[in-house]
């Protein structure tokens, strides 16, 4: 599905977002989405048993909506919590607890965010973060496959993950996308400031 070669990251993002919009309108989209969510459920039923705080995202621009799945996970155990990211002016993210029905505020990019002044929803320290991908790639290093995320270009997640991983080495970072979004080296290569993903969730399975 990808046929972009030698384009700038900005142009590549624009084309991938257009392709994602077209993909979401196809008749087999729901089937692929359900497969992806099924693999997330498998993760939550196994490794997710040890997790207490998962950072989700509010879906925009045809991103997969994982909220119902995560709410079911959280509601099954009172010790579990879901959080959403809040974009700080310094282009780092903080995470605040979120519950269904909370009033959110639009960020400068128009993304619904938790209100950091809401004292009933304190800041959270997630032990797993789910991050939507505009595109993704993989590379081999020392016999191990590493996965990389092409995002919207703001660098929020890369800055945040670099800091969180210093404070919390056991953090699990999972990229979320579809197989067709995989990019080859001619299209895009991760830069030195890009933070790797620990796992990648697609309709094929949980890679990593």
Per the annotation, binding residues for substrate are 63
Closest CA to 59 of 49, 75, 70: 70
Residue list for the binding site: 63
Strand partners, 186: none
Closest CA to 95 of 103, 87, 106: 87
Burial per residue of 180-198, b for 16 or more beta-carbon CB atoms within 10 angstroms, e otherwise: ebbbeeebbebeeebbbbb
Hey, what are 92's tokens?
A: 């780092």
Q: Phi and psi of 77, rounded to 5°? A: -155, 120
Specify the 3-state DSSP secondary structure of 62.
coil
């Amino acid at each position: 599905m990808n046929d972009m070669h030698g384009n700038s990251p900005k142009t590549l993002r624009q084309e991938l977002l257009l392709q994602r919009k077209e993909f979401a309108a196809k008749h087999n989209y729901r089937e692929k989405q359900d497969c992806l969510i099924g693999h997330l459920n498998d993760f939550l039923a196994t490794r997710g048993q040890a997790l207490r705080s998962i950072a989700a995202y509010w879906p925009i621009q045809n991103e997969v909506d994982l909220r119902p799945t995560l709410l079911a996970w959280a509601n099954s155990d009172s010790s579990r919590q879901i959080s959403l990211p809040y974009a700080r002016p310094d282009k780092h993210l903080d995470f605040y607890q979120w519950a269904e029905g909370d009033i959110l505020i639009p960020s400068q990019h128009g993304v619904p965010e938790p209100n950091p002044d809401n004292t009933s929803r304190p800041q959270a320290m997630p032990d797993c973060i789910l991050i939507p991908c505009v595109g993704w790639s993989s590379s081999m290093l020392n016999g191990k496959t590493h996965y990389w995320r092409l995002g919207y270009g703001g660098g929020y997640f890369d800055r945040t993950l670099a800091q969180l991983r210093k404070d919390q080495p056991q953090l699990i970072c999972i990229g979320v996308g579809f197989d067709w979004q995989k990019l080859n080296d001619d299209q895009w290569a991760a830069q030195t400031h890009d933070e790797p993903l620990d796992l990648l969730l697609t309709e094929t399975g949980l890679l990593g």
